[in-house]
Amino acid sequence: MATIAFIGLGNMGGPMAANLVKAGHTVTGFDLSADSVARFLAAGGKSAKTVAEAVAGAEVVVSMLPEGRHVEAVYGGADGVFAHAGPGTLCIDSSTIAVDTARGVAKLGVDKGFVFVDAPVSGGTGGAAAGTLTFMVGGTAAGFEAAKPFLDKMGKTIVHAGDAGAGQAAKICNNMILGISMIAVCEGFALARKLGLDEQKLFDISSTASGQCWSLTSYCPVPGPVPTSPANRDYAPGFAAAMMLKDLKLAQDVAASAGQTTPLGADAAALYQRFVDAGNAGVDFSGIIRFLEGK
């Protein structure tokens, strides 16, 4: 069993850290939210008042943070991981950030003698709680092998995507596909309602026909067909619209820098921007069906 520091105990990080505790590791968490820390303590974890305190003596550092600037500060800042953890410490960042930012933090860490991998996730809060996340890992083969035993306790599918930043590239491409496909599914059901077609009938047909996709079969945006989808909880977020917008913007930024046109990705980003601007930042991203229906 390892001594682990977990930085970022929010809706995703908290359950992930709790699963490491369940696996028998000694986990010390840090978060700016007192409520998040309290939930982690109730799950059997320990707490620290600073990042420096959390990483002191840690063999592994895992982070789940909102944006790239937070990752840069937590790892590279004067009070951060690289300044206070021991050389050789394994660092796993599961935040979703820009590819170049991930590569920059990884280079800084490697130059200072740390083992660093970017390991963003897919699966939402449900997957975080159940330990069934998909991890997309960027880094050296040795870094991936070092990280995998810990990722296995938090996820079901662990894939080495390539060198530093490849995990972020995979996550950004995946979530652009997800955002586009969710809008398509929502438009299909919105049209079905206008045509008087029973929603369950459309689900039964499309889920076994050429319209089949994860947004339909696992996360159906209308109540009923998939009981576990947020549509059955008034679109309480498993993955908030603001987070989808963030990922779609990252996809547009990296597409521009790579010289690749992504017209549907751009349209999806524009639609989610309007949805968020209308006051729906905290609504599940599948709730955009209500916006498309004029509600």
Instruction: Out of 49, 112, 156, 171, pick the active-site residue.
Output: 171
* CA 53 distance to own-chain centroid: 26
Tokens at 38, concatenated: 């309290």
Among candidate residues 212, 254, 266, 218, the one with its CA nearest the CA of residue 238: 218
- Identify residue 111 by its one-letter amino acid code: D
The DSSP bridge partners found for residue 83 are none
Is 171 a catalytic site residue? yes
Residues with a catalytic annotation lie at 171
